[in-house]
Amino acid sequence: MNALLLGMILSARLGVAAPDPTAPSAPVGGAAEPTVVTGTAQPSADAGGDGTAPGEALRRGAASPPPPPTFDSPNAGFEVGNTALAKGDLAAAEAAYRAVLAVAPDPDVYYNLGNVLWREKQSAAAILAWRTAAVDAPRDPDLAANLEFAHRTTKDALAVPSNVPAWAPWMSALSVGEASWMASALLGVALVLVGLRRKFPQLPAVGIAVGLGSLGVVVGAGVLARAGADPVAVVLVPEVAVTSDLGGGVTLFSLHAGAEVLAAEASGGSVLVVLADGRRGWVPASSVGIADPSAPFPVL
């Protein structure tokens, strides 16, 4: 088993906005001495332990769960979660991370929540947490490594579908927020150049302005296309039948925990899922989780 991938899975991150550089990291395995991390995950020294085994079973929530913890700030809640994780108190760490995400969705928090869920043998939920983190951190190499490793443990081992338009491949490396900022910057610089050209006619700024403005429009179009694309969904139950009709019909095939699909439509308590190979069908909405940072993370 690849030690580097396991190290990435077992590492944790510190700080939502302004982390304390003296605070220890929270290696999930628990055997190694804590190391200091300042925003970028490093391989943990304990690449083994009971947290490395993939789990298929999903934890079911208690009938009367305790109220979520409250904190003075999201960063304080994140530190509480990291401390609990360092001590091996997975339930407290999960509760803290969930409480933070309820008020301040952040890729690093989703990353650490995924680590906790993986250690709790909730592999499908961990994949969903990491995939949700990747929505706003698409270039994060640790997330990519975790997802690649976890994908190989799933029963279906399906290709991960892409919701990036074929004509806008750059959107796979940019979040919607980053691309929006880039489009605005390009258009803004183009307008400034046009203004300078009017004040200083000798400046050869028209061609540059047209080029930057055109690029800004294309990037902006990619933002709109990505924002309206079908979101990625992860199967959270051990097995679900994919049917031909909304709420029933003929069973076309089955999907298993951790399979990643696109959620093309939601209606009547069901979701139309689309696989990378083009197969599609309906599943109960309760059987999948949507990788959407703005939505509540499901409790299983």
Any domain includes 213: yes
Pair 134, 206 in one domain: no
User: Are 128 and 99 in a shared domain?
Assistant: yes
CA 80 to chain centre: 21
Dist. CA 9–CA 149, nearest whole Å: 9
Q: What is the CATH number of the domain that holds 113?
A: 1.25.40.10
278: domain CATH number is: 2.30.30.40
Query: How high is the pLDDT of residue 10?
Result: 52
118 and 221 housed in the same domain: no
Q: What sign does the dihedral 134-137-142-148 (CA atoms) show?
A: positive
Percentage of the chain beyond pLDDT 70 is 78
Q: What is d(CA 284, CA 161) in angstroms, rounded to the nearest whole number?
A: 20
For position 169, what pLDDT does the model report? 85
Higher pLDDT, 92 or 14: 92
What is the tens place of the pLDDT at every residue in 289-298? 999 998 999 9
- Nearest CA among 299, 290, 297, 288 for reference residue 256: 288
**What's the structural domain count of the chain?**
3
Q: Is the pLDDT of residue 3 over 70?
A: no
Report the share of the chain in percent with pLDDT over 90: 49
> Is 56 a member of any domain?
yes
pLDDT at 48: 35
pLDDT in tens, 50-66: 443 333 333 333 344 56
Residue 203 pLDDT: 72
pLDDT at 148: 95
Predicted local distance difference test score (pLDDT) of residue 21: 33
| Residue 16 predicted with pLDDT over 50 | no
Do 55 and 126 have their domain in common? yes
Q: pLDDT at position 255, please?
A: 98
Is 158 among the domain residues?
no
Whether residue 159 lies inside any domain: the answer is: no
pLDDT of 83 higher than 90: yes
- Of 205, 227, 249, which closes a domain? 227
pLDDT tens per residue, range 156-211 = 989 989 888 888 888 888 888 888 889 899 889 888 888 877 777 777 777 888 88
For residues 59 and 130, state if they share a domain: yes
pLDDT score, position 234 = 97
Domain coverage including residue 176: 169-227
Amino acid 66: pLDDT: 62
Domain assignment present for residue 300? The answer is: no
Pick the range with the lowest mean pLDDT from 27-36, 141-150, 188-197, 206-215.
Answer: 27-36
Per-residue pLDDT for 45 more than 60?
no
Which residues 6+ apart lie within 8 Å of 298 measured at CB? 125, 128, 236, 289
**Residue finishing a domain among 190, 210, 227:** 227
Letter for the amino acid at 154? T
Task: Report the predicted TM-score, pTM, of the whole model to 2 decimal places.
Answer: 0.75
pLDDT at 241 over 60: yes
Which of these, 146, 149, 46, lies nearest to 88 by C-alpha position? 46
Check residues 190 and 273 and name the one with the higher pLDDT. 273
Amino acid code (one letter) for 299: V
In whole angstroms, what is the distance from residue 82 CA to residue 27 CA?
9
User: What is the pLDDT, as a whole number, of residue 39?
Assistant: 36
Q: Are 256 and 151 in contact (CB under 8 A)?
A: no
Q: Is 215 exposed, middle or buried (0-12, 13-18, 19+ CB in 10 A)?
A: middle
Q: What share of the chain is helix, strand, coil (3-state, %, to 5)?
A: 40, 15, 45
Position 192 in a domain: yes
* Mean confidence (pLDDT) of the chain: 79
